[in-house]
Amino acid sequence: MNFLSITDINVSKVLSLAKAVKENPPTYAHALKHKALAAIFEKSSTRTKLSFQLAVLQMGGYYIELGGAHLLNGHEDAHDTANSIAQYADFLLARVNSHSSLEALAAHSPIPVINALSNLEHPCQALADLLTISESKGLHKTKLAYIGDSNNVSNSLLLACALTGLEIAIASPANYGPSKSIIKKASEVANNGFTVNRTNKPPEAAADADVVYTDAWVSMGQENEAEQKLKAFKGFQITQELMECAKPDAIFMHCLPAHKGLEVAPDVIEGPQSAVFQQAANRLHVQKAVLLMLSNPKPGVNA
Ligand code: CP
Ligand code: NVA
């Protein structure tokens, strides 16, 4: 079983397991004894790298980072890379420039391949976000407003909402909204029908929201589009004034890294409504749950 998209995993089971792991870490201290996680990062990372590394170490396993982003760049084919890594390791974690690199590894890998972020999705982040929302607001009748660029993070969030029944509204400038293919996939995986409210007016999306979420306007690898994007996203900053359109007890979320003064005003991300470090903390518990589910693919565990 691979974990390339949030739709590849049983979200309610992984959240229950993450809660159990969070409540009682010592119970899982040997759960991955002698198992090894090999990691390849084509892009920089603080939270994903550290949380996966600690997750496997705290459960008795090993973490090995292959210092070679070149591994996914024609050094050898994906078949040989994936099969060689599988001779030593039990999981392969990869943060890639192109989602197709993950698909190529997964197509040949005898061990589970985990998406540590691609241009298409960031499923581990969305799971930590669901855990954070479920702790702060519950997942029932909860509205998430995503205001900003439709990217890897918002794609996984959109699918997460479809899978869990969270209501979602997205505000983005023209040409930066969710793709047809991700909306189609969200409709296909939704249990009870799914609508995404789309607008180019941030206050409309934020109205009565329980959660206001944003991410970078210029994601890693998009630096050459920065000038054009910064112009297009003028007026999309999450300010205190915009937060006031949401419910009074709404939380602010951001996967981090944040660009203060661009997608979010410093007083919002550093203010009392901000849940960004709860999100960051939850990455650890969710990564543990993901590794446990992938290492124990018995019916009833990840079915
Ligand atoms: N949110 C997140 O994935 O952070 P890093 O890029 O630091 O891993
Ligand atoms: N959308 C951002 C997320 C970083 C965790 C990026 O891809 O750079």
- The tens digit of pLDDT for each residue in 177-200 reads 999 999 999 999 997 788 999 999
- Please choose from 117, 125, 147, 157 the residue to mutate so as to test ligand 2's pocket, defined by most ligand atoms within 8 A of CB: 117
**Intrachain domains 6-121+284-295 and 123-280 with the same fold:** yes
Neighbours of 252 (CB within 10 A): 24
Q: What CATH code is assigned to 6-121+284-295?
A: 3.40.50.1370
Contact 21, 253 (CB under 8 A): no
Query: What pLDDT was estimated at residue 230?
Result: 98
Summarised one tens digit per residue, pLDDT across range 86-103 is 999 999 999 999 999 999
Q: Which one from 58, 90, 149, 283 is the annotated catalytic residue?
A: 283
Q: 215, 237, 254, 287: which one is catalytic?
A: 215
- What are the strands of the beta sheet with 196-199, ordered from one edge? 196-199, 167-171, 143-147, 211-214, 251-254
- Given a cut of 80, whether residue 116 has pLDDT beyond it is yes
Domain boundaries, the chain: 6-121+284-295, 123-280
**CATH homologous superfamily, domain 123-280:** Aspartate/ornithine carbamoyltransferase (3.40.50.1370)
- CA-proximal residue: ligand 1, atom 3 (nearest): 48
Which letter does DSSP use for residue 113 in this model?
E
Q: Does position 300 have pLDDT exceeding 90, yes or no?
A: no
Which atom of ligand 2 is the closest one to the Cα of 43? Answer: 8
283 is catalytic: yes
| Active-site pick, 210, 254, 255, 279 | 255
Q: Which residues lie closer than 8 Å to 123 by C-beta, 6 or more apart?
A: 3, 4, 5, 6, 8, 9, 115, 156
Q: Average pLDDT of the chain?
A: 95
Alpha carbon of 43 to ligand 2 centroid (Å): 10
Which atom of ligand 2 sits closest to the CA of residue 119? 7
C-alpha triplet 87, 6, 145: angle, nearest 5°? 150
pLDDT band at 297 (very low <50, low <70, confident <90, very high): low
The pocket around ligand 1, CB under 6 angstroms, is made up of: 45-48, 117, 125, 255-257
Percent of the chain, pLDDT > 90?
Answer: 93
Please report which ligand is nearest the Cα atom of 279: 1
* Cα–Cα distance measured from residue 14 to residue 291, given in angstroms and rounded to the nearest whole number: 10
Main-chain dihedrals φ then ψ at residue 8, nearest 5 degrees: -85, -5
**Site residues for ligand 2, CB cut-off 6 Å:** 117, 151-153, 215-216, 219-220, 255
Nearest atom of ligand 1 to the alpha carbon of 280: 1
pLDDT at residue 303 tops 60: no
Which is the closest atom of ligand 1 to the Cα of 46? 7
Between the alpha carbon of residue 176 and those of residues 110, 151, 254, the distances in Å are 37, 9, 18
pLDDT at 288 over 70: yes
Query: How far is Cα 10 from Cα 56, in angstroms, rounded to an integer?
Result: 20
Q: How far is the CA of 149 from the centre of ligand 2 (A)?
A: 10
Share above pLDDT 70 across residues of the chain, in percent, rounded to a whole number: 97
How far apart CA 209 and CA 219 sit, in angstroms, is 25
Catalytic residue list contains 125: yes
pLDDT at 296: 74
How many C-beta neighbours within 10 Å does residue 102 have? Answer: 29
Residue 31, number of CB atoms within 10 A of its CB: 18
Six-digit token pair at 172?
Answer: 């983005």
- Each as own residue / partner, the long-range contacts of residues 280-284 (CB below 8 Å, 24 or more positions apart, any chain) are 280/47, 280/128, 280/256, 282/18, 282/22, 282/128, 282/129, 282/131, 282/132, 282/135, 283/47, 283/48, 283/51, 283/124, 283/125, 283/128, 284/51, 284/54, 284/55
Distance, CA of 232 to CA of 253 (rounded, Å): 22
Per the annotation, the verdict on 255 as an active-site residue is: yes
62-65: strand order across its sheet:
62-65, 36-41, 91-95, 113-115
- Among residues 193, 182, 5, 188, the alpha carbon closest in space to that of 103 is found at 5
The answer to whether the beta carbons of residues 41 and 65 sit under 8 Å apart is yes
Closest C-alpha residue for ligand 2 atom 6? 219
**pLDDT, tens digit (0-9, with 9 covering 90-100), for 244-265:** 999 999 999 999 999 999 999 9
Report whether 138 contacts 202 (CB < 8 A). no
Instruction: Give residue 202 CA to ligand 2 midpoint distance, Å.
Output: 21
| 64 strand-pairing partners | 38
Distance CA 55, CA 48 (A): 10
Pick the atom of ligand 2 nearest to 219's CA: 8
